[in-house]
Structure 1
């Protein structure tokens, strides 16, 4: 899968329950539109959407489950139960929060990785990270690739953007690990995606700028009313 997406565009097709496009019927068609446009893979949330997308189009899927727990800020595939459901859904790669934040029931990321790699030895894993150190730790734990997904979304990195200082964070991650690095997070234009590949990203994930018209509209409205 990683070879297939190299230097390509992964389109994140996600909609939460409070969004107008929520539902697997809509998401599978969104994924079809992305595939027809040349996407190399799809990133999708939830077993219903993943199953529908995989039955509808022939592209690999990076799967995750967003699940909130009262004792943790980790919400991207936080526990073994979400991983198990994603494996059963047929996700080609599974994305997990790989930040240093406390996980549900204080279960460590290293303990979770030992458990899931033993249970599902053929599965591929993507680490959603926020710092260089987390990316380096993910490599040691056996992830197959790392993503900049959570940069700017943790207390340690709050407010930062992937494109600050001409992708400085992305460059630091690429230099720090030997794994493929997936650029993800607030990539809003084709030029930004191309630049991420130019500096060495293995692939680029774009979501809201393509598949969330509510957010796209809000950006236009905000700009014209400045």
Structure 2
């Protein structure tokens, strides 16, 4: 385990993102959210898009950034850093670790997972976090050279849409069978759920919406008002 990844051990990583149609989806606001997260003890942040990564890097020059770029292509369901050129842009913007979709789904440009991971390693020297939906894809990602395994896509792919995050069962299997750092991400809504992930062996936990998802949280409470029976 590298010194960088070792910093995450038993610590919280906060995902600082906002919907594209939200007024919070501005680089300076994402950077402020990241700063607030670090001020309260987050050891690293997870940031989407080169523009936002640059803003966060300028604000937090010494804080590890897990970078990704959500992009959609009509020929593929893969959207988290789908291509090598997207990964290179994420690194150029200032990311220390590149998060990629590591499912077995068809990728744009017909790149293979192994090609993508190898390209990131060879052209940037950065670590790769494999965002996974299943144990089988975890095994493929480990074989392809991923440096970190994450439960990020559990419940969010066509094959796992019947499952509800967090992927605690997947987490347990990944921790048990692979000698790689494992990060629990997705569906962690409370401090108690975070603690459970650590108890199951997670090296670190990523929390996003439960902390930084102002739009969705506001929507949840407002809909509850509308549905009240008095």
TM-score above 0.5, yes or no:
yes
Out of 83, 88, 106, the position equivalent to 1:102 is 106
Q: Indicate the residue corresponding to 1:218 in structure 2.
A: 219
- Alpha carbons 2:113, 2:141 under 8 Å: kept: no
Q: Kindly indicate whether the alpha-carbon contact (under 8 Å) linking 1:46 and 1:64 is maintained by their aligned counterparts in 2.
A: yes
Structure 2 counterpart of 1:206: 207
Which one of 124, 128, 132 corresponds to residue 131 of structure 2? 128
Residue 33, structure 1, aligned to residue 5, structure 2: no
CA distance in 2, matches of 1:24, 1:48: 7
Shift of 1:162: 2.9
Runs of at least 5 residues in structure 1 that lack an aligned partner in the other structure: none
How far residue 135 of structure 1 moved from its aligned partner, in angstroms, is: 1.0
Q: Where do 5+ consecutive residues of structure 2 fail to align?
A: none
Match of 1:61 in 2: 65
1:140 CA displacement: 1.3
For residues 161 and 50 of structure 2, what CA distance do their matches in structure 1 show? 29
Give the equivalent residue in structure 2 for 1:114: 118
- TM-score, normalisation: structure 2: 0.92
Superposition pairs for residues 1-226 of structure 1, below 5 Å? 1-57=4-60, 58-120=62-124, 122-163=125-166, 167-222=168-223, 225=227
Q: TM-score w.r.t. structure 1 length?
A: 0.93
Aligned length: 223
In the TM superposition, residue 112 of structure 1 has moved relative to its aligned partner by 2.1
**Deviation, structure 1 residue 222:** 5.0
SS at match of 2:19: coil
Cα drift, residue 223 of structure 1: 5.3
* Contact 2:130 2:141 (C-alpha < 8 Å) held by counterparts: yes
Kept after mapping to 2: 8 A contact 1:128/1:148: yes
Greater Cα shift, 174-183 or 110-119: 110-119
User: CA–CA distance in 1 between the matches of 2:135 and 2:223?
Assistant: 33
Distance in 2 of aligned mates of 1:85 and 1:43:
15
Runs of 4+ in 1 over 4 A off after TM superposition: 221-224
